Amino acid sequence: MALQEEGASIQEIADKLSLNNFTESIDLSKCFIKVRDINRPALQLTGFYEHFDSNRIQLIGMVEYAYLHSQKDEKERHENYKKLFSYNIPAVIICRGLKPEASFIEEATKAGTPVLGTERATSQFEASLIQLLGYELAPMATIHGVLVDVYGEGLLITGESGIGKSEAALELVRRGHRLVADDVVAIRRVNDDTLIGSSPAVTKYLIELRGIGIIDVKSLYGVECVKDTQTIDLVIKLEDWHSNTEYDRLGLDDEYTEILGQKVVCHSLPIRPGRNLAIICETAAVNHRQKKMGYNAAAELYRRVNENISRNK
């Protein structure tokens, strides 16, 4: 598992939220944000800069805009802008289609701070921005494996190269399930309970089959057979069968693997000729979903056995 550094370019944020760029001379792809939170600089515009979170994106709405333009002295406004941008802000976004004045753009350009705009209402846009930053800046790692959506359960299949991960994924796709990623899975921990997996852009919708090559799942089987992102609910670890190894046959107690500090239920699946991996993986996903809904077949068997023993006594 390879860990990735946190950070997102302002260009990505602008593209995904359809923002206008008022500072066209600044290359947004070279500007980065590394903090999920945002700030509305109301107090700062009045001159109070203690505890100012200058490493956050600054959001200006109607209140901040109205206050700035209530200052009749143009020179005073210019000094306010100059002080604000002296704090090395990553970006400023102005909402409600409001237009910044020339002196605002001038000071932003001098400081190298992008100024962006949106037509959306401030509170509505703020929620979208926080959600996007939460995803883009979440701790991320890449894992060698395959991620498939099976009946709504995110099934991460891992194992040594050539053991049959891609073949199992292809058969699952043929059975009506959806491919998310093959070979490399990018995983983000968006909160304390949720891991979300996706595919790198280079390998999106592609599967490698040894002896055949690269196939495009989206083109061959249709858009209903692929998916961009999926929560990771269950890990299936494929491994070679060894006759002297004991494998869990009941599943009374769940085993776990750790991804980005979060525990995920993990089943080790021994591989030997004649086993249908796709059906086993599909069944594991359904069984896991059933456990989440409150029914455990192994626990039910254990209960029946105990009842039978008690009855015989």
Q: How many residues does the chain have?
A: 313
pTM: 0.77
Is 218 an annotated catalytic residue? no
For residue range 40-52, list pLDDT tens digits in order.
998 888 889 998 9
The CA distance from 191 to 262, in Å, is 10
Mean pLDDT of 197-213: 91
For residue range 253-272, list pLDDT tens digits in order.
788 999 998 999 999 888 87
Catalytic residue among 83, 144, 218, 291: 144
Residue 105 has pLDDT above 60, yes or no: yes
Determine the pLDDT at residue 128.
95
Give me the helices (H) in the chain, please: 10-17, 42-45, 62-70, 74-85, 102-111, 122-136, 165-174, 217-221, 277-292, 297-312
Mean pLDDT of 119-131: 94
137, 10 in Cβ contact below 8 A?
no
Residue 69 has pLDDT above 60, yes or no: yes
Q: How confident is the model at residue 311 (pLDDT cuts 50, 70, 90)?
A: confident
Give domain limits for the chain: 2-136, 140-300
Pick the CATH number of 2-136 from 3.30.365.10, 3.40.50.1970, 3.20.20.70, 3.40.1390.20: 3.40.1390.20
Catalytic residue among 51, 72, 75, 249: 249
Determine the pLDDT at residue 70.
85
**Burial of 49 from C-beta contacts in 10 A (0-12 / 13-18 / 19+):** middle
For residue range 138-166, list pLDDT tens digits in order.
889 999 999 999 999 999 999 988 888 99
CATH of domain 140-300: 3.40.50.300
Is 174 an annotated catalytic residue? no
Catalytic residue among 149, 182, 183, 233: 183
Determine the pLDDT at residue 7.
77
* Cβ-count burial 223-244 (b if 16+ within 10 Å, e if not): eebbbebbebbbbbbbeeeeee
Is 78 an annotated catalytic residue? no
Mean pLDDT of 93-119: 94
150, 231 in Cβ contact below 8 A?
no
Mean pLDDT of 79-86: 91
DSSP string computed for 89-127: -S-EEE-TT----HHHHHHHHHHT--EEE-SS-HHHHHH
